[in-house]
Structure 1
Amino acid sequence: MLRVLAAVLLVVLAAAGCADAPVTPPVPDPTSADAGFVGGMVPHHEQALELTAMVGGRGASPGLEAIALRIDRDQVEEIGQLQGLALARGLPAVHAHTMSGMAAPETVARLRELRGPDFERLWLDTMITHHEGALAMARDYLATGRDDTLRRYAEVLLAAQSGEITTMRRLGTSIAGP
């Protein structure tokens, strides 16, 4: 029995010595287009969630409530996808400092004060500008980005948010004047 145990131990030790050294994945470049896109898009989407959360209880039209719900649902899903992709790719948790289309704090504060058509007009203008910023970020990424999954994400974002902008512009023309 002792000989068998010794033989098994010898085989295990020999096999362990033959094992490959652990592979260390390359450290992602925090200044890469991939890291910058994810680092900018996540907080950009988070602000969209802040804006969509304002719509309920403000006397907004059913059309505005519907597009806000759609945007909210899409942005939550996309944040999860981007965070998961960043984790899988080992992208650093950096956040871009300049993100196109972000609403100014003054605009967000003004939206919090408004109700009815005034709220609706400012919200639509703000969200259209916000989406246009995301489109610019996606186009910039497509010009320089390398990750195939992020490139497909950027292409889908371009189509989806362009359609939402069209819907929001239509809604804006149907708001009653002051």
Structure 2
Amino acid sequence: MSSVQRTVRRPLTRRLAAVGVLASGALLLAACGSNDRTSGTHHESTSAPSAAKKSAANPAPGASNDADVTFAQSMIPHHEQAVEMAELAEGRASDTEIKTLAAAIEKAQGPEITTMRAWLKAWGAPASSAHGMPGMDHGSGGMDHGSGGMDHGSGGMDHGSGGKDGMSGMMSAKDMTDLKAAKGKGFDRKFAQMMIGHHNGAITMAKDEQRNGRNATAKKLAGDVIKNQTAEVAKMNKILDRL
């Protein structure tokens, strides 16, 4: 190789080396920028769970009063019994509408029980009243309906003044035993009759909450109970008409 050729090749080699260094630097800067953006996105995403956690810590924000507490304490066992009744439909009910209605009741009222328990915890109130489950007559081993409860003579529900301690529409231990023993069309009719009375009791309690309660979240749930269960009562009355 001539001296002229070596002279030409050396500057070319230096230029290529310089280009390689610049390219490496550009890739490094791009990588850093990408890491910075990724890091920033990560910080933003981690702040979301923190905000959600803070919101979840106060499920019923705002002021509350004794009526709100009583509503939750009473409605929890009321809902629990409705769910128990709805669960009995599986394997016993024969009417398609009864099966669909029972599933809807279970799906709606189960989460509401969890919601109301969270309210009571946030309010620093016990899950039940000082006298135990409202409406329970422990002396007789079941529910004391007062002038309410089932009117078996007429084959329907007597929607009088409701149960003891304001727990309106609760079924007695005998009512529940009779429902468990029923099957087919007999179960369908008994379920509709009992649930109509049960729903009407819940509606009465919800109206009391709307009149006397203070917490906006609790009053909204009361409004939902009135709307949804009134519609279900109308549906069950129609079912009874054709059974």
TM-score by length of 2: 0.58
Retained in 1: the 8 A contact 2:92–2:187?
yes
| Worse-matched range after superposition: 75-84 or 37-46 | 75-84
Asked if the contact 1:141–1:151 (Cα under 8 Å) also holds between the matched residues in 2, the reply is yes
* 2:66 corresponds to 1:32: yes
How far apart in 2 are the matches of 1:59 and 1:112?
Answer: 11
Of 167, 172, 176, which aligns to 2:235?
Answer: 167
Query: In structure 1, how many angstroms separate the alpha carbons of the residues matched to 2:69 and 2:128?
Result: 7
Give the residue type in structure 1 aligned to 2:171. A
Contact 1:35-1:94 at 8 Å conserved across structures: no
Secondary structure of the residue that 1:101 maps to in structure 2?
Answer: coil
Picking from 70, 92, 96, the partner of 1:62 is 96
Within a 5 Å distance, the mapping from 1:94-109 to structure 2 comes to: 94-95=128-129, 97=134, 98=165, 99-109=167-177
Give the residue type in structure 1 aligned to 2:124. G
Number of aligned positions between the proteins: 147
Residue pair 2:94, 2:188 contacting (<8 A) in 1 also: yes
| Among candidates 114, 135, 144, match of residue 203 of structure 2 | 135
Where does residue 77 of structure 2 map in the other structure?
43
Residue 82 of structure 1: aligned partner: 116
Question: Per-residue deviation at 1:118?
Answer: 1.2
Aligned AA for 1:82? M
* Shift in Å, 1:90: 2.2
Q: Which moved more, 1:77-86 or 1:128-137?
A: 77-86
Q: CA deviation at 1:59?
A: 4.1
1:83-120 Cα distance to aligned partner (Å, 9 max, x none): 11222222222235231000111111111111111111
Of structures 1 and 2, the larger Rg is shown by 2
Amino acid corresponding to residue 88 of structure 2 in structure 1:
M
Q: CA deviation at 1:81?
A: 1.2
Contact 1:60/1:120 (8 A) holds in 2: yes
Equivalent residue number for residue 178 of structure 2: 110
Q: Which runs of 5+ in 2 are unaligned?
A: 1-62, 135-164
Whole-angstrom CA distance in 1 between matches of 2:185 and 2:85: 16
**TM-score normalised per structure 1:** 0.78
Query: Which structure is higher in RCO with an 8 Å CA cutoff and minimum separation 6?
Result: 1
Tell me if 1:121 matches 2:189: yes
